[in-house]
Amino acid sequence: MNEDQLNQAYVLTLSCPDRPGIVHAVAGALLVAGSNIMDSQQYGSPATGNFFMRVEVTTAAPASELRAALEPVAAAFSMQWSLNTVGDKVRTLIMASTSAHCLNDLLFQQRSGTLPIEIPAIVSNHRDLAGLAEFYGVPFHYIPVTKDTKEQAEDKLRALLAEHDIELTVLARYMQILSDELCTDLTGKAINIHHSFLPSFKGAKPYHQAHARGVKLIGATAHFVTAALDEGPIIEQEVIRVDHARTPEQFVQMGRDVEGRTLVQAVQWHAEHRVLLDGNRTVVFN
């Protein structure tokens, strides 16, 4: 047995109706599989009555044995669960339109090794960002979208998702609305970013609108994509303070910075299997 096998780490995430004995049963199954628990977090939601858990373990046993030990427990407690190898990169497709800031932040963090994702494709409804994709060596797919071609465009997107075995789709300032059917198919597997003013300051130039109203806080919201536009379960938000001396252009630049940071953080937490859905809310473990 080599050193890698002795130190193989896995992360188990689960959710189920809350009841006594869940932690004991999970810990017992992990012990049967020869696992050593390195980190464990749990939460029981009083609002929904659901229980959530994230456990990191090391073991010399193969993943198949770990799954076999957990399956009876999962069945007994009606769990939704997943077991992933720590460090495995999540295959991620990024969609963008003409704004480069969020796409660039994701690509830079991925290349620097701080974001545990693999990016096999970038999709855009414009050609503006093709050069950025080329700089990072990621294949760029131009898929134009009009009212008459929306269905065909989504068919091409679905084909790319299947071809590249995509686990996560990130809308990095992609300025097109996905169909309800596609949003449903991507439930819990697609993340969007936008400014945090909503439902105020909708439409064009939201930062200019905010400046005209004299707001003192601006920020960004990263959330899962749902058919309800910009109303999906929130993963991360950040706000920064502004004052009367800032120009509309400074609002825009500061907003871009916070959008990029917020999206990167949300993607990182998702890729580390720290985000679990609880209805229209999320549980995000540290």
Known catalytic residues are 230
DSSP string, the chain: --HHHHTEEEEEEEEEE--TTHHHHHHHHHHHTTEEEEEEEEEE-TTT-EEEEEEEEEESS-HHHHHHHHHHHHHHTT-EEEEEETTPPEEEEEEESS--HHHHHHHHHHHHT-S-EEEEEEEESSSTTHHHHHHHT--EEE----TTTHHHHHHHHHHHHHHTT-SEEEESS--SPPPHHHHHHTTTSEEEEEETTTTSS-SS-HHHHHHHHT-SEEEEEEEE--SSTT-SPEEEEEEEE--TT--HHHHHHHHHHHHHHHHHHHHHHHHTT-EEEETTEEEE--
